[in-house]
Structure 1
Amino acid sequence: MAKDDLPEPKRRNRTMSVADVLAGALDPVLKKRGFASRDIIAHWPVMAPKPYDEVAIPDKLSWPRGERSAEGATLVLRCVPGHALAIAHEGEKIAAAINRYFGFVLVGSVRLSAEPFTPGSGKQEQAPYQPSPGVQAKVGAQLAGVENEELREALRTLGHALSSRSEHKGGQG
């Protein structure tokens, strides 16, 4: 057997995108919610008509009992409470936009979820970490011999970050 005929070994130390890593964890959860893939959630801002791309988000896709019918599934949307009435009236327009995006009848009707949707609720900023005076003094003493100002600041930031990790784990800084 020639060297070129050998199959390429499976790499275990390759870089992977965050989407690939999360796919294994998200897919089973999405399947329980009726989604065959992440497409409708991932591309919602592109496929949904304005302003529903910003005030609503897909929650569940319910297929009729038995076989998947030609009428499509019922898409359950979470929405901002003030837009519920408009979405209830524009359900056919939203379903048509989704079906146009996919090129086949996926959604037959749109319903509203009892759970509200709050845009930007996932974006929470943490307060910047302020190391204790003891940690600041310890890191400062260790960096006293570093002459380059930029390097000293980078090392100071690193030292404070590492001390915050050890403090959060119950260690001493």
Structure 2
Amino acid sequence: MAKDDLPEPKRRNKTLSVADALAGALDPVLKKRGFAGRDIITHWRSIAPPPFDATTQPDKLSWPRAERSAEGATLYLRCAPGQALFAQHEAPAIAAAVNRYFGYLLVNDVRLSAEPFTPGSGQRMQKPRQPSQSEIAKVGKATEMVEDDDLREALQALGLALSGRSKPKAE
């Protein structure tokens, strides 16, 4: 096939989010793991009851081979070290939470996966930065003319938060 025979790529004159752009690449992988969509993985923190929202991750859904119904899958969870016994004990509560989220009997059983647990990277707690006295004075001077107390306090909080951002380097 010659290069001239290739069709012109279809252009979308709009911006796409990374999630939308990668959806086509992720869907076949998720289907191999038994997931019909990304909902259970992307919304796991709101689906799972605490503390399982932070200590477990869905690994795969295993559907019964003999039955034709779409209900009653086994959900395999990756579990944080030291939490496996607790997660296994509370498996019915986890299954009930998943079924409540979706509104029908999706998960019949919850089991633990042998795969290692990899927690999310966005959970590190950052130490709040204390603004310097000069920053406090500068923000106070900029907002002293605002008459409404609530608005002034909100603007001061915003000013102090913005003063903590890294400043661009002068070349």
AA aligned opposite 2:13: N
C-alpha distance 122-22 of structure 1, shift in aligned 2 (>3 A): farther
Q: What is the TM-score when the length of structure 1 is the normalising length? A: 0.62
Q: CA deviation at 1:118?
A: 2.9
Find the counterpart in structure 2 of residue 39 from structure 1.
Answer: 39
Note the alpha carbon deviations across 1:44-83, whole angstroms, 9 max, x for none. Answer: 0001000000000000000000344375100000010200
Residue 86 (structure 1) aligned with residue 86 (structure 2): yes
CA distance in 2 between partners of 1:65 and 1:57 (Å): 24
Q: How many residues align?
A: 120
CA distance in 2 between partners of 1:53 and 1:120 (Å): 11
Q: How does 1:59-138 map to 2 (within 5 A)?
A: 59-69=59-69, 72-120=72-120
CA distance in 1 between partners of 2:68 and 2:51 (Å): 30
Sequence identity (%): 71
CA distance in 2 between partners of 1:152 and 1:82 (Å): 46
Question: How much is the aligned-residue C-alpha RMSD, in angstroms?
Answer: 2.4
Find the counterpart in structure 2 of residue 14 from structure 1.
Answer: 14
Q: CA deviation at 1:18?
A: 1.1
CA distance in 2 between partners of 1:13 and 1:78 (Å): 40
Q: Secondary structure at the match of 2:69?
A: coil
Q: CA deviation at 1:152?
A: 7.4
AA aligned opposite 2:105: V
AA aligned opposite 1:38: R
CA distance in 1 between partners of 2:62 and 2:27 (Å): 16
CA distance in 2 between partners of 1:45 and 1:95 (Å): 14
Q: CA deviation at 1:12?
A: 2.4
CA distance in 2 between partners of 1:46 and 1:37 (Å): 16
Q: CA deviation at 1:122?
A: 8.2
Q: What is the TM-score when the length of structure 2 is the normalising length? A: 0.63
Runs of 4+ with deviation above 6 angstroms: none
Q: CA deviation at 1:117?
A: 0.7
Q: CA deviation at 1:11?
A: 4.8
Find the counterpart in structure 2 of residue 7 from structure 1.
Answer: none
AA aligned opposite 1:87: A
Structure 2 gap ranges (5+): 1-9, 124-166
Q: Secondary structure at the match of 2:41?
A: helix
C-alpha distance 151-45 of structure 1, shift in aligned 2 (>3 A): closer
Structure 1 gap ranges (5+): 1-9, 124-149, 157-173
Note the alpha carbon deviations across 1:3-61, whole angstroms, 9 max, x for none. Answer: xxxxxxx7523211111001011101000000000000011000100000000000000
